[in-house]
Structure 1
């Protein structure tokens, strides 16, 4: 299996991008009470429409679809609505390292001080497979870390912050995520927030259908599902 990068010149005119849970429902035939079981296998789904495409861009997309060979190969795909997080763009890596002093060369004498930079956002503690929350560090203190719906990259996979989270005064934050963590992640693993992608494959062998308009403009809609 080969994994391809998404061509940067291709941006959809319309898209569907959502997380499809995997649940099992039991409904009582007598009372209609419902029990729902969450199962593994939640996955990202996408439908991208490109309309219209000139002959050059149509060739780029058709070439990619051909290279994917139906569901054989994968491409790293992102949600084009959420290419950057809505939280404070600064991190503790932007705070200069201490010790700190005032302009008259005096320093703190009561044991207190400013927050010392600890780098970019990363896991503050290891997270097990299936975790629904991440303990993180390295945020700008007392600022918005992530907004609800922000995308987070971890271990080459795409996750969504399900709530708005403020960083603490020491730059830590506990972030609820979906889907559950695909694989265990060690302490210190970096988090990514720009153009976060995940490996996806074509849903069927017919995703390259390409009706062409007079004037040689092409319309193509492709459906993708996360490769688990």
Structure 2
């Protein structure tokens, strides 16, 4: 568990959040042929940029002061921080036209075949959080249940928490079958065994540490607004 959780109200004005692979490339100096080797232990990289000052009444002044105080407690690489990708904190509830919904699941709910053709919409609200089966270390798929038939809980490129303490990105997600079940594919592989539980797609956090003792540098312009450039690497266990 991380020592700190990055506050939701400290939102960066620019951010990078990506998966860094661990690759070795050997190239012959004579033929320039390459041998590429993918090693284990890829990790997530997080970079956040902020602007804010201190000692004022506007929110921009509060941001600078809060970041300075938080960085003082984090102590460079000494402490760990739980961070999620602010660019994709989660998606809203899907809305489907009835005809699309019925066509997707190949079912009709009216004995006489009556349907709506005026684009009537239904808000499809999940009944509780989707639950997932237990998975083993190295898994790249997870079985989900409790999904509305014909819908997807999230989309390709969104994050999912499968219970191993790391962020994972959805690479394939089919629509749920008539019983509300589907198998979701994700990357990177699960880092550890994860028990059956309620899967989460909202604010999927990873555990990170700062890369430098100098992360608290805060060059400030004449307006009193400071700039912060924070680089984090994922903590692998």
Query: Which category describes the TM-score, using the shorter chain as reference length?
Result: 0.7 to 0.9
User: Which residue in the other structure is 2:66 paired with?
Assistant: 60
Flag the 1:83–1:39 CA change in 2: closer, same or farther, 3 A.
same
User: Which residue in the other structure is 1:98 paired with?
Assistant: none
User: How far does the alpha carbon of each residue in 1:49-90 deviate from its partner, in whole angstroms, 9 at most, with x for none?
Assistant: 01244432211111111111111111110111110046749x
1:84 to 74, 86, 90: 90
- What is the alpha-carbon distance in structure 2 between the residues aligned to residue 127 and residue 142 of structure 1? 24
User: Which residue in the other structure is 2:50 paired with?
Assistant: 50
- What is the alpha-carbon distance in structure 2 between the residues aligned to residue 29 and residue 86 of structure 1? 53
Contact 2:49 2:230 in 1 (8 A): yes
**TM-score normalised by the chain length of structure 2:** 0.75
2:180 to 159, 165, 171: 171
1:72 and 2:72 aligned: no
1:141 and 2:143 aligned: no
User: Which residue in the other structure is 2:106 paired with?
Assistant: none
2:227 to 209, 219, 224: 219
**TM-score normalised by the chain length of structure 1:** 0.78
Contact 2:48 2:229 in 1 (8 A): yes
Contact 1:75 1:199 in 2 (8 A): yes
Q: Which blocks of at least 5 consecutive residues in structure 2 are unaligned?
A: 54-59, 96-110, 112-125
1:209 and 2:217 aligned: yes
Q: What does 1:1-228 align with in structure 2 at a 5 Å threshold?
A: 3-27=3-27, 34-53=34-53, 54-85=60-91, 88=94, 120-124=129-133, 126-155=134-163, 156-186=165-195, 188-228=196-236
Flag the 1:139–1:36 CA change in 2: closer, same or farther, 3 A.
farther
User: How far does the alpha carbon of each residue in 1:127-184 deviate from its partner, in whole angstroms, 9 at most, with x for none?
Assistant: 1111122222221111123211111113232111013432122111211111110111
Contact 1:51 1:220 in 2 (8 A): yes
Contact 2:84 2:206 in 1 (8 A): yes
Where 1:63 maps in the other structure, the secondary structure is helix
Q: Answer 1 or 2: which has greater helix percent.
A: 2
Count residues in correspondence: 201
